[in-house]
Amino acid sequence: MTLVRKMRMTDMIKPVQLPSPWGDARLTVVVPTYNEAGNLPALVERLLALPLPGLRILVADDNSPDGTGEVADKLAIENPDRVEVVHRAGKEGLGRAYVDGMSRAIEGGAEYVAQMDADLSHPPEALPGMLGALLSTQASVVIGSRYVPGGELDENWPLYRRALSGWANLYVHTLLRVRIRDLTAGFKIWRADALRDINLERVQSNGYSFQVEMHYLATKLGHTILEVPIRFEERRDGVSKMTTATKVESALMPFRLRSKHRNITR
């Protein structure tokens, strides 16, 4: 049975200083992008400022028409040993971008793989504490959670988004029986070995339901999942990528997951 534990993090503003060798861990942060030219430079700057010398950034851009790919290339030239860009053919969905980026991160030698949005809704400064929580436990993945004690939502997050997020969590909980409070969370750090065990090639979700499928697979395979609180911010630049199509996919996916992964084995 998967063990889901809740842990408080006391400081979500100032990044914690991890002792060696924890702070030197090979951590690759995968950031899918589509029209995030206004946010990406600030995100990369904040990530590279963290006290994690082993941190690398992999931007997976879906041929953004606003020039995000070119912005990412410039950042990679300025930081050749720490920023890498994967240019994808087009907008194939968040799930496909993550599968591509995470697979490349593992192939590149990452011991740990983080995933986060490019819109600055996830606080980069929380990553050292999340990595410390992962390394100090037997967890396979640490989730930056909005819905455990201590977690917060930006006061500017629209009411309809709060309602949709709450309904989605209740809906998936009911159908899949996964004991995670923030089932749709997109801010996480995985052990590379856990991702190999899950086998990214069998992940089918294209959109935001990728998060649910990954949690479901980890649960079915008996991995320990740890949630720590974060403050989730509303994006300051650009627009949300949540479309009617992604909402429909997310609504149907739990039924598909129950059928597809019912008898999953390693």
CATH code of the domain covering residue 199? 3.90.550.10
Position 208 scores a pLDDT of: 76
The tokens for 103 are 């697979």
- The answer to whether residues 223 and 5 touch, using CB atoms and an 8 Å cutoff, is no
Note if the bond before 21 is cis, omega within 30 degrees.
yes
Question: Based on the number of CB atoms within 10 Å of its own CB, is 142 exposed (0-12), middle (13-18) or buried (19 or more)?
Answer: buried
Tens-digit pLDDT profile for residues 27-79: 999 999 999 999 999 999 999 999 999 999 999 999 999 999 999 999 999 99
HSE (side-chain half, CA atoms, 13 Å) at 244: 0
Contacting residues for 169 by C-beta, under 8 A, at least 6 apart: 147, 181, 182, 183, 184
Position 1 scores a pLDDT of: 37
Q: Which amino acid is at 172?
A: V
Mean pLDDT calculated for residue range 131-155: 93
| Number of domains into which the chain is organized | 1
Q: Answer whether residue 208 is part of any domain.
A: yes
The tokens for 117 are 């949005």
Position 8 scores a pLDDT of: 40
Position 6 scores a pLDDT of: 43
Range of the domain at 152: 4-8+16-260
Q: Answer whether residue 142 is part of any domain.
A: yes
Q: Which amino acid is at 99?
A: V
Q: Answer whether residue 110 is part of any domain.
A: yes
Q: Answer whether residue 266 is part of any domain.
A: no
Q: Answer whether residue 165 is part of any domain.
A: yes
Q: Answer whether residue 170 is part of any domain.
A: yes
Residue 196: how many other CB atoms lie within 10 Å: 11
Q: Answer whether residue 265 is part of any domain.
A: no
**Which of 119-133, 170-184, 233-247 is modeled with the greatest confidence?**
119-133
Element (H, E) at 163: helix 159-176
In the chain, which residue ranges form alpha helices assigned H by DSSP? Answer: 40-48, 68-78, 94-107, 127-135, 159-176, 192-198, 209-220, 244-260
- The answer to whether residues 128 and 50 touch, using CB atoms and an 8 Å cutoff, is yes
d(CA 97, CA 105) in angstroms, rounded, equals 12
Lowest mean pLDDT among 9-18, 23-32, 187-196: 9-18
The pTM is what?
0.86
